[in-house]
A and B are shown apart, each in its own frame.
Chain A
Amino acid sequence: MRKINKKSQLKIQEMSFMLLALILFFVIAGLFYISLSASGLKKQASILQQEQAITLISKLANSPELSCGKSLCIDVDKLLVLKDRKAYQGFWDIEGLRIMKVYPYPTQEIECNAGNYDKCTVFTIKELNQSYLEEGTFVSLCRKETKDKIVYDKCEIGKILGGIKIRQ
């Protein structure tokens, strides 16, 4: 009788260890899967945040203060005027606003002013707060030019850059 009892106890023990091992295995596998899917979510969240920032910055490019009349088009003449107006510093609901000429210009950053209008590459409208990340999108930079006394629109490729909050 004792022998039988011992045997069954051993069997129960064996079974419980087996169950424990199985549960442990599934828990570890589950944790592995959750961590994998969570990292995917983080990636998706950062992509969405970036897309949101681009949409917000695109809206700024379409505001009447900057727009040349078409979507994603900035009037460079307006930029020169806006740049020196201190009253507009608090106007933009964004941390930092810069407009860069990217083609056909060198990558070197030269701040624009009335004197170097056609050789410069950057218009800083609002200084970037250091705790913010700069994100941007492509825009047309158009201005009036004259050739043989005929005025025409000259459009180049630029980027509008704005500061977005860095989420941890």
Chain B
Amino acid sequence: MRDRKDIRRYQNKTMKVNKAQQEIIGFVIIVLIVVIVGVIFLGISLQKDSGIETTDAEISNFLITTMRYTSNCSKDFEADYRTISGLISATYDGRSCLDGRKAEDVLKQELTKILDSLWTAGEEYKTKYYKLTIYFQTDTRDPNTRQEPKIVIENGNADLCAVRRAGQYSIDDPPGAIITRLEICKEAE
């Protein structure tokens, strides 16, 4: 009789311990699920911030003003200097300057100097990386008609990109347009 009572007591005790363990496991599972969902949500929201490329008024304004910059490449007479946009058109037409230099070489030289001076890129600077591409697009509304770029100037380290911004400028050249696109990568704001 006594043995039976002891067995029942023991069974009751072990059942209580089991119940408490189950509750603890349940609580841990709930906390784990909430934490995992939170981490996934945070990860997605942080990813959204770093990956998106935004158009930037400063870059667009920079391109507009750069296009008007007077180069040292004369067209028909000494004081008839080409602007950067004129040099781009001349590059696509395969023309040269009055002194014999190829328009494409002068354009590359001038753009490299301007970009290095105004968007100095590198690990120790605010601008981590820049890339300027000049390409022809046969249909301005369809990005798939984009041809291989004629000029690509880049500097810095693209792996350090935190904030990606871009701007572009197009020069009408029927039936399409010559597009100059500048992409700038900066450190996190």
Which A residues form the contact surface with B (CB < 8 A)? 18, 22, 25, 29, 36, 40, 43, 46-47, 51, 54-55, 58, 70-73, 102-104, 137-140, 142, 146-148, 150-158
Question: Using Cβ atoms and an 8 Å threshold, which residues of chain A touch B69?
Answer: 103, 140, 155-157
B58 touches A104 (CB 8 A): no
The contact of B38 among A29, A46, A72, by CB within 8 Å, is A29
What residue in chain B is nearest A29 (Cβ atoms)? B38
Is B34's CB within 8 Å of the partner chain A? yes
23 A-B residue pairings within 8 Å (CB atoms): A22-B30, A29-B34, A40-B49, A43-B189, A72-B64, A73-B65, A103-B118, A104-B113, A104-B117, A138-B65, A138-B66, A139-B65, A140-B64, A140-B68, A146-B79, A147-B78, A147-B79, A150-B79, A154-B70, A155-B68, A156-B69, A157-B65, A157-B118
Q: For A157, what are the chain B residues with a Cβ–Cβ distance below 8 Å? A: 62, 65-66, 69, 114, 118
Q: Which residues of B are found within 8 Å of A18, using beta-carbon distances?
A: 27
**B155 an interface residue at 8 Å Cβ cutoff?**
no
Please name 9 further chain A to chain B contacts, defined as beta carbons within 8 Å, in addition to the given A40-B49, A43-B189, sorted by A numbering.
Answer: A25-B34, A36-B45, A72-B61, A138-B66, A140-B65, A152-B79, A155-B70, A156-B70, A157-B66
Is B77 at the interface (CB under 8 A from chain A)? Answer: yes
> Which one of B30, B61, B80, B117 has the highest number of Cβ atoms from chain A below 10 Å of its Cβ?
B61
CB distance from A39 to the nearest CB of B (A): 11
- Give the number of A-B contacts (CB < 8 Å): 79
List of A residues within 8 angstroms of B118 by Cβ: 102-103, 157
Per the CB 8 Å criterion, the residue count for chain B at the interface is 29
Distance of A40 from chain B, by nearest CB (Å): 7
Residues of B at the A interface (CB closer than 8 Å) are 27, 30-31, 34, 38, 42, 45, 49, 57-58, 61-62, 64-66, 68-70, 77-81, 83, 113-114, 117-118, 189
**Are B117 and A137 in contact (CB-based, < 8 A)?**
no
Q: Which residues of A contact B117 (CB under 8 A)?
A: 102-104
Q: Closest residue to B26 on the A side, CB-wise? A: A18
- Minimum CB–CB distance from A144 to chain B (whole Å) comes to 11
Contact check, B57 vs A142: say whether CB atoms are below 8 A apart: no
Of the candidates B58, B80, B114, the one whose C-beta lies within 8 Å of that of A152 is B80
Query: Given A29-B34, A103-B117, A152–B57 Cβ distance below 8 Å?
Result: no
Return the 3 tightest CB-CB contacts between A and B, nearest first: A147-B79, A150-B79, A140-B68
Are B70 and A73 touching (Cβ within 8 A)?
no
CA distance A147 to B79 in the complex (A): 6
The contact of B61 among A36, A102, A104, A139, by CB within 8 Å, is A139
A137 touches B27 (CB 8 A): no
- Give every chain A residue within 8 A of B83 (Cβ-Cβ): 155
Report how far A151 CA is from B58 CA in the complex, Å. 31
Tell which of B45, B49, B58 touches A138, judged by Cβ atoms closer than 8 Å: B58
